[in-house]
Amino acid sequence: MSNLAEKIVRARKAARLTQQQVADEFEISRVSVTNWESGKTAPERDKIPHLAALLHTTVEWLLDNRSDDVADELKHVPLEENNGNGYHDGWRPSVPGGLPQLDARAGAGDGAFGAVVTLSTGGITSGHLVTQEWLVPRTVLGTAPNRVFALPVDGTSMEPGLSTNDVVFVEPTERIKSGEIYVIDDGDGPMVKRLRIDRNEDPPRLWISSDNPAVPEFWRPLDAIRVIGQVIGKFVRLRSR
């Protein structure tokens, strides 16, 4: 068994993931993961950063030939630090499995939200105070809780799907799937918008739209937008306080 294969096995078990869960994350067969772990094959190079994040470790640790103690690595490694996305070291949940709600409001209107866990995306780092913590099972989120943060929504541009004071759950990523909802920053502050990429233009355009038909769609050059993360869920209070 190769050192990489051994580390994948150890990290997967430490993260309490099954081979099938890893396979589902990459949309491959469980046999493919079995082959990774037996050393028959290895993950493609472009899959390594995603695999490291999924297993709560780093690209460097997975690819290092040394057999360090995985338990120590997993306790202290920030999410996807070497992939450029996610939390930087400095915040730890008070309850195991907790995910942070940030003080900044994800603008779903025309303005910027709030003041500045630390997020690093697109080569830009911004700090946000944690106001509270959420405990949401992995089975509900569809991903590891330590890969997610929560933000309250501000504004009406994404109604009826998202309204002021809804809380969205966001997974840091710079990958864009056309038609999905993301938290982005175009230089005037983060906002929640639906994105669509037009690669027929040079340079490629990123079309930014709202679900509220009263708010017009607009575009920016793809490289002019900082994508903070994808909205993967929301919490809605049905009763006023």
Whole-number pLDDT of residue 19: 92
Q: Which residue has the tokens 């309850």?
A: 95
Q: What 3 state SS string does the chain have?
A: CCHHHHHHHHHHHHCCCCHHHHHHHHCCCHHHHHHHHHCCCCCCHHHHHHHHHHCCCCHHHHHCCCCCCHHHHHHHCCCCHHHCCCECCCCCCCCCCCEEEECCCEECCCCCCCCCCCEEECCEEECCCEEEEECCCHHHHCCCHHHCEEEEEECCCCCCCCCCCCEEEEEECCCCCCCCEEEEECCCCEEEEEEEEECCCCCCEEEEECCCCCCCCEEEEHHHCEEEEEEEEEECCCCCC
Whole-number pLDDT of residue 222: 84
Domains of the chain (ranges; CATH) run 3-77 (1.10.260.40), 99-235 (2.10.109.10)
User: pTM for the complete prediction?
Assistant: 0.59
Whole-number pLDDT of residue 196: 93
Whole-number pLDDT of residue 111: 28
Using CA atoms, how far apart are residues 134 and 126, in angstroms rounded to an integer?
Answer: 21
Phi and psi, residue 231, nearest 5°: -75, 120
Using CA atoms, how far apart are residues 100 and 110, in angstroms rounded to an integer?
Answer: 25
State CA 190 to chain mean position distance: 15
Mean pLDDT, consecutive 10-residue stretches, the chain (241 aa), reads: 81 81 92 93 90 78 60 33 40 72 57 42 63 85 84 89 90 87 78 91 90 92 85 85 61
Output the six-digit token pair for 173. Answer: 């990523």
